[in-house]
Amino acid sequence: MLMGLDSGLRRNDVDWQRACKRGPARAAMDSRFRWKDGRKRFRTYRLPTKIKACLRGFHALYICHYKCTNNCITPTGGRRMDIRNMGVGVNGTLAKDTLDWTRKVLSACGPRLTGSEACTKSARMIQEDLALHCDSTASEEFTVHPASFLFFMKFFALSYLAALVLVFLGGVLIYPAALALTAGTVLSLTQFVFYRNLFDPLFKRKKAVNVMGVIEPSGPPRRQIIVSGHHDSPHEFLFLASRWQKWYALRITLGVFSYTAANALCLSWAGLRLVTGADPSWAGALAWGALAGAVFVVPLYFFHSKRGVPGAGDNLIACAMAARVAQIFGQAKKDGKNLLKNTRLVAASFDAEECGLRGARAFAQMHGQEMADLPTFVLNMDSIYSLDQLKFCKRSGGLYASSAIQVTSVG
C-alpha cells in the first residue's frame, strides 16, 4: 500500500523528512487501555488474544507492500498470509483505494493546520466517508490553543538573549535572568513534555473537531475497539527543510542542553548570591559560556514556520486506513454477515494531535465514562511510511514509545 505514497505523495511532503530524522515511523498498538474511574484508580484491561490477532492481521494487511495472488498476501520481508479464511472480502484494490482517497483529500484540502478551514473540511470529508459504512457517525467540536504547544521554542530564544544581557551586567540582575530562564523551562515542561494546558489562556483560541463512526455488534457489546488516526497536519519544520537537515537532532539537543545548563547555573548563581551577598568566582566564565551557547539556542526561534505541510504520511493515510477498516466490517454487516458479535468498532479521526494530543484528550474526556464501563482497546496509527521502519508499540509513555516490536515479526 505504501508504493503509491513512496512514489507520489512524499515528494512534496516535508513531514516525510521529519519522520526520517526523528526515528522509525510507528503505529501505536495499545494492548492495555488504562482509565481512571470515579475513585481515581486505574482500571486495566488486557487485549484478548483473538482480538489482538485480528487487529494485527488487518493492520499488517494495510501497511505492507503487497501483491495479491490466489487470495494470498505477501508482505515485503514477512511471511505469506492466507486471507481466504478471514471472513471478509479483501482484494488487491483496497490499498489503491486507500491511497486514492488520501490523494483526493489532499487535493481538496491541502495543508491542515488545527483550527483552519482546511482542517475542518478534511474532518467533514472523513465523516462523509464513514457514514457510508457505519451505523452512526458524529462530529465533536472542542476548543484548542494551537500556538501554545511549540511557542516554547521562540520563548527559549528570546528569554535566553534577555538573560544573556543580564548575566553580563551581573550583580542583582542575575535574579531576573534566572527567573526568565526558569519561566522558559516551566513553559516547555507543561506545554510540550507533559501536555498540560497551563499557559493556554495566553494564546488565541480556535475550534477543532473530532469525527467518529460506530459499527454496532449483532449482540450486546461487551468490549469496543477504537481504530484511529489524526487528520491535522504539522507546521513546516525549517530545521528539516534546510541544508542542515542531517544535523536536526544534534541542533535540537545542543539548543535544549545549552538552555537547561544556563538555567541551572543562573539559579546556582542567584542562590549563592542570596546566601553570601557576592557573585561566585565562576560568574565571568558563565557569561562567556552562555554567549557560546547562544549559537545553539537562538536558532530555535526559527524552528518552524507558520506554514503547514501536506501531511500525507503524518497522518492522513492513517485516517484513510481506519475508514477502510470500517468499510470492511460495515459492508459485511450490510451483506448479512456481521463479523462483530459482541465487539463495537469505532473508527475515529482526531484533530489537534500536532498541538499536543489535544484531540485524543478531548475524546477521552467526552467518552471517559463509556470507556470506563466498557473494556476498550485502541489501535492508533501514526506516520505510516515504510514497512522496514514500522513498529507496533504495546504501550506508550511521555514522548517515547516503549515495548516496540517490528511489524514483520507479527506478519
**Band of the pLDDT at 314, cuts 50, 70, 90?**
very high
| Domains held by the chain: number | 2
Q: Are residues 220 and 187 in the same domain?
A: no
Q: What is the pLDDT of residue 411?
A: 38
Q: Are residues 256 and 340 in the same domain?
A: no
Q: Are residues 115 and 129 in the same domain?
A: yes
Question: Of 278, 302, 326, which marks where a domain is finished?
Answer: 302
Average pLDDT, the chain: 79
Q: Are residues 170 and 266 in the same domain?
A: yes
Q: Are residues 71 and 17 in the same domain?
A: yes
Q: What is the pLDDT of residue 66?
A: 32
Q: What is the pLDDT of residue 392?
A: 75
Least trusted range by pLDDT, from 57-66, 206-215, 281-290 = 57-66
Q: H/E element holding 262? A: helix 248-276
Q: Are residues 384 and 268 in the same domain?
A: no
Reported as a single tens digit per residue, the pLDDT across 364-382 is 999 999 999 999 999 999 9
Q: What is the pLDDT of residue 86?
A: 40
Reported as a single tens digit per residue, the pLDDT across 326-368 is 999 999 999 999 999 999 999 999 999 999 999 999 999 999 9
Q: Are residues 246 and 230 in the same domain?
A: no
Whether the per-residue pLDDT at 26 is higher than 70: the answer is no
- Percentage of residues in the chain having pLDDT higher than 70: 73
Q: What is the pLDDT of residue 89?
A: 44
Q: Are residues 191 and 261 in the same domain?
A: yes
Which residue in 20, 27, 22 sits closest to 405, CA to CA?
27
Q: What is the pLDDT of residue 405?
A: 52
Q: Are residues 247 and 316 in the same domain?
A: no
Long-range contacts of 336-341 (CB under 8 A, 24+ apart): 337/87, 338/217, 338/218, 339/87, 339/88, 340/215, 340/216, 340/217, 340/218, 341/217, 341/218, 341/219
Q: Are residues 193 and 316 in the same domain?
A: no
Greatest Cα pair distance in the chain: 83
The pLDDT of 267-289, averaged and rounded, is 95
Question: Of 302, 330, 350, which marks where a domain is finished?
Answer: 302
C-alpha span between 108 and 90 (Å, rounded): 28
Q: What is the pLDDT of residue 395?
A: 64
Q: Which domain holds residue 284?
A: 151-199+241-302
